[in-house]
Chain A
């Protein structure tokens, strides 16, 4: 019997590629955001609204992850040219290696901000660093006001939390106070911004957060 001591992260392969992605993006001066949520929370709608409202001199690109279809990429391609769909097959999250391949498909010299739309899933994406600068987490009202407490590992590392589909507030009787109470135990750092991609409410506040983030990263 011989015991070999190792002490290495099992995700070290993913983490090494994530570090390389981060370095590559920073060298090009690109801010990158990893957008995570359950399926149907409105990630693609958020990107449509965001890209349409960003200043013209802020060039964006999107890597969009889904198990199947290129429907999200087709929607976003109507707004910008640099969009790549990543189909994960049976994979329930994007990995750093998939993002690295996605970066190869983009002309990074023409990008200021990269949005990575993760696969809709509230568990696995949170466990994988992709090399992003910030994590954007969406929660939509139809999912219920208990999701922060139920999925703490998604919300704990979030840099900003968007509460989407606020236009349904009265119909659903969603309790925003309950979300805030849960966040007081899980994440008090990330601002909680109520928005509606349909009515446009709150999007100005989200765009202000994003613009501040772009300006901060360009100063760094």
Chain B
């Protein structure tokens, strides 16, 4: 539902991160997706294709890596892997947790490629 908004935020961040590489274009972006962000990977891919159009990341591939939810029980401090529909501690059976991982979407890396002279001229003519 909010993939377009997230894709736009991601693009802003990518362009900001590569602003000191004026001779490069973005060919791949890797993100870590926590299940609690409720992102539909296919929708995110579509949103990415739509927001990058005409930007330095126009032809880039978006690699989305899903990570498990890691939770720490506030009651007995045990750390465990939770499921999207169950946060019950295997030790004390309480579902009172601090989410350590799995509730974020994180930009991990950006792969850059040098813009060839011909491409730059072509880009400039548009």
Residues of A within 8 A of B (CB): 1-14, 91-93, 121, 123-124, 126-127, 149, 152-153, 156-157, 183-189
Contacts and interface: CB of A to CB of B under 8 A. Distances in A.
B95 A1 contact: no
B27 interface: yes
Contacts of B57: none
Given A2-B24, A123-B1, A186-B95, A10 B9 contact: yes
Interface residues of B, number: 39
B88 to A, nearest CB: 5
Interface of B is mostly: mixed
Interface string B1-13: 1100110011011
Interface in B76-126: 84-88, 94-97, 99, 104-114
Given A92-B1, A127-B36, 9 more contacts: A1-B111, A8-B17, A9-B105, A10-B6, A93-B2, A121-B1, A123-B2, A152-B85, A187-B95
Nearest to A128: B2
B31 to A, nearest CB: 7
B37 A127 contact: yes
Given A1-B113, A186-B95, A188-B95, A11 B17 contact: no
Interface of B: 1-2, 5-6, 9-10, 12-13, 17-18, 21, 24, 27, 31, 36-38, 74, 84-88, 94-97, 99, 104-114
A8 B95 contact: no
A12 B16 CA distance: 13
B13 to A, nearest CB: 6
A4 B1 CA distance: 29
Given A2-B24, A92-B1, A123-B38, A186 B85 contact: yes
A104 B20 CA distance: 35
Contacts of B104: 9-11
B39 to A, nearest CB: 9
7 contacts: A1-B27, A1-B113, A2-B114, A7-B108, A9-B107, A10-B9, A124-B1
